[in-house]
């Protein structure tokens, strides 16, 4: 039986915890008696506890994040009811800041704040030796990255076959954007690149073809960035897929040349725009050259095959609906593959909280701590914008409506999509679990009603989209005179 269990509740089965694998890789002599067990948040807490206790552990380490804190609190409460002698150790960003008085921390035996790569193993050694530290909260000293064993051997063959594999070539972020936990980093550190690439080669040889980098600023160091891209270009095949997060205004010619060599479907960039408003950027300590950012996005769209996932945030201090709308339309015009419309969250420990009083900002007290209202956006409007973000994900970001979306957006994308969002919610009272065929019918209904698009144009566009989706049914809007207006089973021309 395992003396030590490392566990967490992931949002989806496909997510594999990189943090827990760092802990496992750095357990030293205790690794042989340590087991990693992951769950998803839909699992019942009582069943999670039963599974954990079946291993008869002495210590359970739990990773706590914004998406699992409520369920993990229930798990810890149950553990302490039925197995009070099992030592529960917490870690993770959700309990590393503002932890005093929180129920989950009160229930647990120990809390390690910040990076616990080495600290967890050291604590376990003391506990198994019968030494109980007097302080419940352990704050590790910063650790140089060369002392940390890389975790990639801890991905199992099952992980590689069925789950996302995460990696990082560096840690930290030089920027101080106040909504982000990375603003608390003191510096950027890079792992030894030769050792890192050797691990990537092993993963590649084991069959990994999707590499999701979690570095906050992948293109900060262009020399290292190019070495990594060249490494993958040498191994390029038709299954390779790479995901990186880029600084939006830093795309020198050498990097452009490397990016241009990747074929379609192999490269995805997540690019945080967040806001185009210079006053808001300054207020939240975000440094961004907007003109350079726009130039880089245009270049990526016109001269590369990279898929661009761009981020905007609703609710930043001092940003009105009109200001957000202007930035949204500006980003739509640049044509990224996806626009992630995020709702501002007050992550524990982040400096964004300093603006709450001055700008009348109120946040939900429960995770994920979304903004509820501000002096410029009242609660009712914020609810509308939250639905806007959800429906944008369902309609635009899924890629299901490439022909229908231009009809939906028109010349003023924000205003038109907000009107569609308001109508869709009024019609369905749903933001989730809208069946695909019904969604197509609803889009058709709005286009041919409030939007004033003629039925034939709408039906032609939506028929093309539905056919390309690969779905086998037939929305009602594609049926005319009892027959399919368009043969939805016909494959699109190559």
DSSP, residue by residue, 98-138: S-TT-HHHHHSSEEE-S--TTHHHHHHHHHHTT---S-SEE
Q: Beta strands of 160-254 (E only): which ranges?
A: 165-167, 170-171, 189-190, 210-213, 241-246
pLDDT at position 221 is 94
Structure tokens at 15: 């997510």
pTM for the full predicted model: 0.93
pLDDT at position 183 is 87
Q: What is the mean pLDDT of each run of 10 residues along the chain (494 residues)?
A: 91 95 98 97 97 97 97 98 98 96 97 96 97 96 95 97 96 92 86 98 98 95 97 97 96 97 97 97 96 97 97 98 98 97 96 97 97 98 98 96 96 98 98 96 98 96 95 90 52 38
Helix (H) or strand (E) holding 193: helix 193-205
User: Which of 99, 129, 128 shows the shortest CA–CA distance to 112?
Assistant: 99
Question: Hey, where are the domains in the chain?
Answer: 4-145, 164-377, 404-494
DSSP annotation of 377: S
Round to whole Å and give the CA distance between 139 and 262.
Answer: 43
Looking at domain 164-377, its CATH architecture is Alpha-Beta Horseshoe (3.80)
pLDDT at position 437 is 96
For domain 4-145, give the CATH superfamily: Cobalamin-binding domain (3.40.50.280)
> Sign of the CA dihedral 352, 354, 358, 364?
positive
Segment 18-21 long-range contacts (CB within 8 Å, at least 24 positions apart): 18/151, 18/166, 18/167, 18/168, 18/214, 19/63, 19/91, 19/92, 20/61, 20/63, 21/151, 21/152, 21/154, 21/155
What are the CA-CA distances from residue 47 to residues 34, 43, 75 (Å)?
21, 7, 9
pLDDT at position 186 is 72
Q: Give the distance, in angstroms, between the CA of residue 138 and the centroid of all CA atoms in the same chain.
A: 28
Helix (H) or strand (E) holding 19: helix 18-25
């Amino acid at each position: 039986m395992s003396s030590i269990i490392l566990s967490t509740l992931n949002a989806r089965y496909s997510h594999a915890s990189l943090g827990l694998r760092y802990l496992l890789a750095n357990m030293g002599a205790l690794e042989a008696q340590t087991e990693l067990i992951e769950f998803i948040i839909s699992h019942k807490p009582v069943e999670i506890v039963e599974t954990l206790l079946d291993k008869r552990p002495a210590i359970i380490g739990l990773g706590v994040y914004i998406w699992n804190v409520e369920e993990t609190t229930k798990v810890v409460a149950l553990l302490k009811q039925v197995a009070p002698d099992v030592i529960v150790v917490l870690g993770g960003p959700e309990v590393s800041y503002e932890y005093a008085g929180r129920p989950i921390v009160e229930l647990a035996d120990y809390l390690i704040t910040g990076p616990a790569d080495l600290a967890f193993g050291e604590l376990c050694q003391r506990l198994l030796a019968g030494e109980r530290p007097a302080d419940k909260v352990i704050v590790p000293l910063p650790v140089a990255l060369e002392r940390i064993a890389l975790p990639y051997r801890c991905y199992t063959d099952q992980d590689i076959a069925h789950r996302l594999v995460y990696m990082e070539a560096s840690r930290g972020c030089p920027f101080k954007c106040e909504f982000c936990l990375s603003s608390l980093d003191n510096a950027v550190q890079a792992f030894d690149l030769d050792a890192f690439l050797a691990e990537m080669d092993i993963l590649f040889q084991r069959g990994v073809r999707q590499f999701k980098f979690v570095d906050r600023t992948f293109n900060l160091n262009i020399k290292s960035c190019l070495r990594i891209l060249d490494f993958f270009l040498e191994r390029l095949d038709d299954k390779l897929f790479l995901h990186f997060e880029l600084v939006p205004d830093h795309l020198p010619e050498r990097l452009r040349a490397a990016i241009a060599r990747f074929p379609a479907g192999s490269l995805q960039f997540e690019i945080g725009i967040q806001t185009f408003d210079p006053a808001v950027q300054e207020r939240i300590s975000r440094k961004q050259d907007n003109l350079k950012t726009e130039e880089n996005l245009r270049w990526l769209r016109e001269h590369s095959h990279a898929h661009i996932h761009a981020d905007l945030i609703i609710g930043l201090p001092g940003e009105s609906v009109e200001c957000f709308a202007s930035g949204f339309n500006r980003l739509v015009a640049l044509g990224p593959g996806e626009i992630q419309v995020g709702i501002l969250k007050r992550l524990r420990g982040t400096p964004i909280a300093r603006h709450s009083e001055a700008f009348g900002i109120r946040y939900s007290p429960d995770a994920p701590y979304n903004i509820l209202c501000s002096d410029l956006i009242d609660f009712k409007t914020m609810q509308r914008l939250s639905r806007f973000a959800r429906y944008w994900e369902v309609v635009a970001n899924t890629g299901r409506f490439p022909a229908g979306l231009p009809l939906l957006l028109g010349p003023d994308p924000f205003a038109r999509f907000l009107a569609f969002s308001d109508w869709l919610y009024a019609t369905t009272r749903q933001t989730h679990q809208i069946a695909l065929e019904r969604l197509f019918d609803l889009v058709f209904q709005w286009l041919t009603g409030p939007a004033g698009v003629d039925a034939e144009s709408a039906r032609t566009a939506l028929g093309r989209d539905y056919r390309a989706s690969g779905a086998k049914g037939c929305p009602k809007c594609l049926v005319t005179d009892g027959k399919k207006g368009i043969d939805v089973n016909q494959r699109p021309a190559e």
